[in-house]
């Protein structure tokens, strides 16, 4: 894996990681697209309600509830494919993830604004691990308090990105819109929640 390091930021980028594990990313993306219960929830941002500019699904062990932007996610169970991925990550990274947020960007208009995954229920000692499927998109990073320059990582089909602590404390990330992208991308972020 390629290491990307800045002050307060530690990333590991596994290019075509999923292919190296013997998976075919298009098949997995199709299976997830069809089998999961995708939602486009109403969220409250700066006091205003709007639908998220992407589809989402929260998969987690019982009791692992997650709330962001005023929204409590409905828990969906692990499917066989997702359970296999979770086991692979346990074998390779030594971390047992108990929850997973999936984001589905239908085309380049769908996006994610600047944020850090630093909600109180997340275990801040554990990495957050992102797996990308489908259309390649840029994930941008910027420091919360200045210093280092913002930069972007190009995430392609099958890429893994490990965001190690304390990255979420010092940096934010965003997935900007890309007018020319016409295809779908599904991103999975594996997380450790401290059960309530």
Ligand X SMILES: O=C(O)CCC(=O)C(=O)O
Chain residues 5-44 in contact with ligand X, contact rule CB under 6 A: none
Q: Are 143 and 116 in contact (CB under 8 A)?
A: no
User: Prior bond to 186 cis, omega within 30?
Assistant: no
The CA-atom distances, in angstroms, between 120 and each of 14, 27, 155 are 28, 35, 27
60 touching ligand X, by CB under 6 A: no
- Rule CB under 6 A: say whether 168 interacts with ligand X: no
Shortest reach from residue 191's CB to ligand X, in Å: 9
Does 173 participate in binding ligand X (rule CB under 6 A)? yes
- Considering only 85, 101, 129, 135, the residue that binds ligand X (CB under 6 A) is 101
Q: By CB under 6 A, name the one of 18, 82, 95, 112 that touches ligand X.
A: 112
103 binds ligand X, rule: CB under 6 A: yes
Contacts of 162 (CB under 8 A, 6+ apart): 1, 11, 12, 13, 14, 93, 127, 128, 129, 130
Binding site for ligand X (CB under 6 A): 101, 103, 112, 117, 130, 139, 155, 173, 175, 187, 189
């Amino acid at each position: 894996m390629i290491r990307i390091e800045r002050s307060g930021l530690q990333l590991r980028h596994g290019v075509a990681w999923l292919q190296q594990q013997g998976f075919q990313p298009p098949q997995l993306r199709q299976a997830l697209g069809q089998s999961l219960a995708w939602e486009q929830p109403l969220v409250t941002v700066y006091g205003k309600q709007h639908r998220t500019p992407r589809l989402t699904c929260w998969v987690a062990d019982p009791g692992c509830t997650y709330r962001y932007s005023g929204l409590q996610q409905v828990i969906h169970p692990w499917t066989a494919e997702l359970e296999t991925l979770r086991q692979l990550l346990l074998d390779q990274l030594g971390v047992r993830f108990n929850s997973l947020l999936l984001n589905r960007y239908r085309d380049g208009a769908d996006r994610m604004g600047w944020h850090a995954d630093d909600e109180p229920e997340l275990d801040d000692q554990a990495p957050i691990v992102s797996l990308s499927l489908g259309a390649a998109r840029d994930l941008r990073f910027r420091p919360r308090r200045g210093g280092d320059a913002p930069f972007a990582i190009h995430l392609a089909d099958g890429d893994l990105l490990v965001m190690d602590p304390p990255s979420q404390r010092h940096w934010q990330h965003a997935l900007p819109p890309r007018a020319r992208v016409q295809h779908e991308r599904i991103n999975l972020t594996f997380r450790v929640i401290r059960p309530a």
